[in-house]
Each structure stands twice: as structure tokens, then as C-alpha cells.
Amino acid sequence: MGKIVYFVASSLDGFIADADGGVDWLPDGEPDDRRYGNFYAGVQLLAMGRRTYDQVIGFGEWPYPGKTVYVFTHTPPPDGPEGVRFFQGSAEDFARDVAVRHCGTVWLVGGADLADQFRMAGLIDEYLVFVIPTILGDGVPLFGGRGGHTALELLSAESYPDGLVRLHYRRPGAP
């Protein structure tokens, strides 16, 4: 099995979206790529929650052409973009039945509840968190807030001229 990576942007106070679920506070584009291109090139499949999927669909053009995307949902819509599969199991089911068949990176796109399910099951191998120099005060937290301590090892930290900080962590024992 490849590695599962939670690649996400967060406000300085730990939110991935504002109180209404919006992400208008995120910087436009990817200045200097911030290693996104290399990361994305190694992504074999993506996993996201239904609310994240609905938000991404609302942006217009599907941003993940040519990639297989698993959307975790209890109520799948009738159809989706090419390559989208609706998944009705748990994080553990996904790791056992889907991710195990792939050797590349599995990008855990979001949201907080799904990230918590994967984290609590010990399934996230690496965390790439881009801290945006913005304080939202309220919103969707980086994780869903369920209990359980998760110790991580810092692999690298990188700051950019616009104040953004890239933090790269690994779960101890991860491949």
C-alpha cells in the first residue's frame, strides 16, 4: 500500500474553512508552487468527505481530472465527474479494500470529520499542513475534535515570504 497523506491548508487558529464552510480566505493560486506540483504528480488517488466534494463541485471545473477520487458518503448522488467513486464504508474499510491496492500517494483532501476518522484509526502516514497567516476566529476545525492523542515527528518546516508556513509531519512508524 502507498502512503496516506493529509495535505491541507489551515488558518493560524486551526480552521480549514470559515463558519459558513467558505474558503475565500485562502490565497489565490500556488505562488512558487510550494511543492504542490511534485506532490500532486505522485498522487494516485484522492479521498474526501461529501461536504468537501459538494464544495469542490460548486467551484465549477473539476480540479482532479485523470485521478481516481473516492467520496465518503452515506447518500451518494446519482452521478459525478469521471473518475469519482462514492464510498459508503469506514476509513478502515477504505484502507483494507481500496488503498491497499495502490502504491502511490493517497491524498486525504478533507474535511475535518474524515481526517479524524483516518487519524484515530492510525491511517494517516504524513501530514502536510500549510498554515495561512489569517485568523478566522471560528469555522471548520483542522480535525473534527474527537478525542485521542496523536504524536507526530516533524520532517520539515518551511516559511514563505507571504507568511505562509508549510509543516510536514510523519506518524511515528509510518513507511
- CATH code, domain carrying 49: 3.40.430.10
Q: In the prediction, which pLDDT does 29 show?
A: 62
At 51 the three-state DSSP class reads: helix
At 120 the three-state DSSP class reads: helix
> What are the two backbone dihedrals, phi and then psi, of residue 159, each rounded to the nearest 5 degrees?
-110, 155
pLDDT band of 173, cuts 50, 70, 90: confident
Q: In the prediction, which pLDDT does 34 show?
A: 66
**Residue 175 resides in a domain:** no
Provide the 10 A C-beta neighbour count for residue 16.
24
Please write the tens of the pLDDT for every residue from 60-99. 889 999 999 999 999 999 889 999 999 999 999 999 888 8
Which of residues 36 and 11 earns the better pLDDT score? 11
**Helices (DSSP H) in the chain: which residue ranges?**
36-41, 50-58, 91-97, 112-120
Q: Is the pLDDT of residue 115 over 80?
A: yes
Q: In the prediction, which pLDDT does 33 show?
A: 66
**Span 135-146, mean pLDDT?**
90
The HSE-up count of residue 27 (CA atoms within 13 Å, CB side) is 19
154/18 Cα distance (integer angstroms): 27
DSSP E strands: which ranges in the chain?
A: 4-11, 15-17, 43-49, 68-72, 84-87, 105-110, 126-132, 140-141, 153-159, 165-170
**Span 36-59, mean pLDDT?**
91
Q: Contact 151/30 with Cβ under 8 angstroms?
A: no
Count the domains in the chain. Answer: 1
At 75 the three-state DSSP class reads: coil
**Residue 130 resides in a domain:** yes
pTM of the predicted model over 0.95: no
Domain range for 139 is 4-170
